[in-house]
Chain A
Amino acid sequence: MNSVSGPILGLMVLTGLLTAMPVRGEDAPAACEVPDYLLASESTLGKVENAVKNKQSLDILVVGSRSSTINPNANSSEAPAYPARMQAALKEKLPSVAVNLSVEIQAKKTAEEVAAGLAKLMEGKKPTLVIWQTGTVDAVRSVDPDDFRTAVDDGIAALQEAGADVVLMNPQYSPRTETMISVPPYLDNMRVVAQQHDVPLFDRFAIMRHWAESGEFDLFSAYRGVELAKRVHNCIGVALSQFVIDAAHLGPPQQN
């Protein structure tokens, strides 16, 4: 092992340093900066593209758990969380389109429980785009990753069946609970399902980790106030709007 991996190790460390450094350098001044590759997706949002290009309205439904909101009380809307921030950013970037948003918070529900209700939810709303944020509850309860994958698979199928574009959003990066919650299996499975359905995956986990590593946010903080959460949600909303615009091929990339 040693004799093979020696040079490889060196190479990896070197490339790791080389790639890490410029990113860090760029990042310091502007807030919410996300490297391009974290916002790139091979999958596209055809229905969103059509809706916007035909000057129709863009109806977005966010289905998520509690990390899609800031207030512990799921139904209050005092502090704007990322869905509202995304809506604001989209309105700014797509002035000719009416961007409508509805948010469906299903706190403490696993992907399986949410997926079961998706078809019904779609009947009432008929959105162009569904942003499905999931994985956290499953990770906290350590649901069998295979079952989780099946559930996400079913959920996406139901959403696509109902005629919507889908963006999948994975859990938050939470350094404080890293030793208590095992997130990676859920991240991996979401990536796989997204690929199978050709659905763009908004990698919230990697983006937040990038912010933590670049010093943009101190996510270790035990700070009890709502300020940090607001700032993070703001940045996620902005990044998400950019992600949607890129995946729907609406205009040139604006960041970086």
Chain B
Amino acid sequence: MTSVADRIAGPPLAADADVIAQGKAAAQVAAPAVALPAAGERELRLDLFRGLALWLIFIDHLPPNILTWLTIRNYGFSDATEIFIFISGYTAAFVYGRAMRDAGFVVATARILRRVWQIYVAHVFLFTIFLAEISYVATSFENPLYSEEMGIMDFLKEPDVTIVQALLLRFRPVNMDVLPLYIVLMLFLPIILWLMKRSPDLTLALSVILYAITWQFDLSLSAYPNGVWVFNPFAWQLLFVFGAWCAQGGAQRMSRILASPITLWICIAYLLFAFFVTLTWYMPQLSYLMPRRLEQWMYPISKTDLDVLRFAHFLALAAVTVRFIPKDWPGLKSPWLRPLILCGQHSLEIFCLGVFLAFAGHFLLAELSGGAGLHFVISISGILIMSAAAWLFSWYKHSADKSGTRSKATSGNADMAGGGA
């Protein structure tokens, strides 16, 4: 049995030199089989679960329907956002950490900033779509029952302020909070990596301290017109840094803990507990079973500040997952999981597409007054479109852009390797 750490960490540090060498070789040669060297080293589980997170985020952004029951937020405290941020931290640290060792701090920072810019542009693009949708609703929807809710359109009255605030990432419509968080986290990635090069454990400790300070002193970023960022970067950085720490060999050092049956049982017990608690949310009939004292201590479970219960739930899920799905799990090669993996490999594009499709799906549902049937069709079509798009993106990368890669390979490699969103 290979060590658990191997399964999480992908190539452990010792093997990194090889990876780098291969990566370089791939970059320099840019042979016809451009994908192969990288793919050989790729941690497919990361792609798989990031793809899964993207699907779940898409489904969660649609109004509740039968598929919503398949998303993990119904079975515990954490949801797809945790998976997404953790894996993003992991892959970003893996790719740009390599770049930092390879090409130095300045070059790695430059590449990270370019990635930040891409995410920012994607966010602004989504905002434009949101503006179109909300303007349409504002002009076409006038149900007196909801005259109060229509107050949300008020910002259309002063687009000058709103749009500038949106560009400053302070005005974020619903469902558009993940990318701003990601932008901020990526902005700090150079510092995180620089610290990690010295001491990963110290970096993680600092991150935990920042998290604790955030809870103690209510640190937050203000939003426009009021309120705070829905995902507080001061709190959510913990997951991102934890992901980075795992990528930098932390997972390997945790291997003994992860392999222990005690850990497994604690995790399973906690997951079951969370499952039961969540059950009482969806079936209020059961809520009398919940001890009142426990409820008072536990609620509210803050998503904004990444509640400890959520973080712990994610850890438990991750621990159980790496235990039962090894790195060389044959299913990873299965054609059935291929769409998920492809989506995970193009996460920024697919994430944006998912947000767009959720808007579009919502729009269709509203216009056609569709029932559960249409809802189901929209959800499934969305997932199919996301998968097809992911397939198209990898076709572009591996076939259509092949001639381009030759010259750009060295500089573009970090992004190509999935370093981004």
What B residues does A178 contact at CB under 8 A?
Answer: 63, 362
148-199 of chain A: CB within 8 A of chain B = 149, 172, 174-182, 185, 188-189, 191-192, 195-196
What A residues does B393 contact at CB under 8 A?
Answer: none
Interface residues as binary, B137-161 with A (CB distance below 8 Å gives 1, 0 otherwise) = 1001111111111111000000000
What A residues does B386 contact at CB under 8 A?
Answer: none
What B residues does A42 contact at CB under 8 A?
Answer: 288
**Chain B interface: which of A215-223, A237-245, A248-256?**
A215-223
User: Chain A CB within 10 Å — which of B147, B175, B223 has the most?
Assistant: B147
CB-CB under 8 A for A179 and B175, given A1-B317, A228-B143: yes
Contact of B226 among A144, A146, A188, A219 (CB under 8 A): A144
CB-CB under 8 A for A176 and B324, given A16-B69, A142-B226, A195-B295: no
Least distance between A133 CB and chain B CB atoms (Å): 10
User: Chain B interface secondary structure, helix, strand, loop or mixed?
Assistant: helix
CB-CB under 8 A for A232 and B69, given A142-B223, A143-B226: no
> Considering only CB atoms and an 8 Å cut-off, how many residues of chain B contact the other chain?
62
> Considering only CB atoms and an 8 Å cut-off, how many residues of chain A contact the other chain?
65
What A residues does B285 contact at CB under 8 A?
Answer: 37
**Chain B interface: which of A5-13, A53-61, A96-104?**
A5-13
Interface residues as binary, B349-363 with A (CB distance below 8 Å gives 1, 0 otherwise) = 000000000110010
Taking a contact as CB atoms under 8 Å apart, the answer to whether A188 and B299 are in contact is yes
What B residues does A22 contact at CB under 8 A?
Answer: none
CB-CB under 8 A for A1 and B149, given A176-B141, A195-B296, A222-B142: no
Least distance between A43 CB and chain B CB atoms (Å): 11
Least distance between B95 CB and chain A CB atoms (Å): 24
User: Chain A interface secondary structure, helix, strand, loop or mixed?
Assistant: helix
Taking a contact as CB atoms under 8 Å apart, the answer to whether B144 and A70 are in contact is yes
Taking a contact as CB atoms under 8 Å apart, the answer to whether B72 and A192 are in contact is no
A67 to B359: give the CA distance in the assembly, Å: 25
A107 to B303: give the CA distance in the assembly, Å: 29
Closest residue of chain A to B74, judged by CB? Answer: A12
Taking a contact as CB atoms under 8 Å apart, the answer to whether A174 and B69 are in contact is no
Taking a contact as CB atoms under 8 Å apart, the answer to whether A2 and B143 are in contact is no
- B412 contacts partner chain A, Cβ-Cβ < 8 Å: no
What B residues does A120 contact at CB under 8 A?
Answer: none
A3 to B268: give the CA distance in the assembly, Å: 12
What B residues does A16 contact at CB under 8 A?
Answer: 69, 282
Contact of B133 among A108, A179, A196 (CB under 8 A): A179
Lowest 8 CB-CB distances: which A-B pairs, in order?
Answer: A66-B148, A229-B145, A142-B227, A3-B324, A1-B321, A67-B148, A182-B174, A140-B151
